[in-house]
Amino acid sequence: MSTLAMLETVQFVVGPDGRPTAAQMGIEAWNPLLDWLEENEDRAIVKDAMPKLRLGPKVAGALR
C-alpha cells in the first residue's frame, strides 16, 4: 500500500462545531505507515552522522 493510499484511509472525527477534532485509521494502514515513518527517521539519523563517521572511528567516537 502506497503512502498516499494509506493517508486516503484516514477518517476524521468532527466536533459539534463541524471542525475536525481527531483522525483515525485502520491498523492495516497504520502499521505500514509507522514502518515508513521509522525508516525515514533512521535515514535522517544516518545522514546526519555520515560526515562525522567519514572522519574515522576514533574521531567519530566509535573507538576510545
pLDDT at position 2, please? Answer: 79
User: What are the tens digits of pLDDT across the range 14-39?
Assistant: 999 999 999 999 998 899 889 989 99
Task: Quote the cell numbers at residue 21.
Answer: 477534532
Domain that holds residue 9: 3-60
Domain count along the chain? 1
Determine contact, residues 23/14, Cβ cutoff 8 Å.
Answer: no
Would the pTM of this model clear 0.75, i.e. be above it?
Answer: no
Q: What is the DSSP string of the chain?
A: --HHHHHHT-EEEE-TTSSEEEEE--HHHHHHHHHHHHHHHHHHHHHHHHHHHTT-HHHHTS--
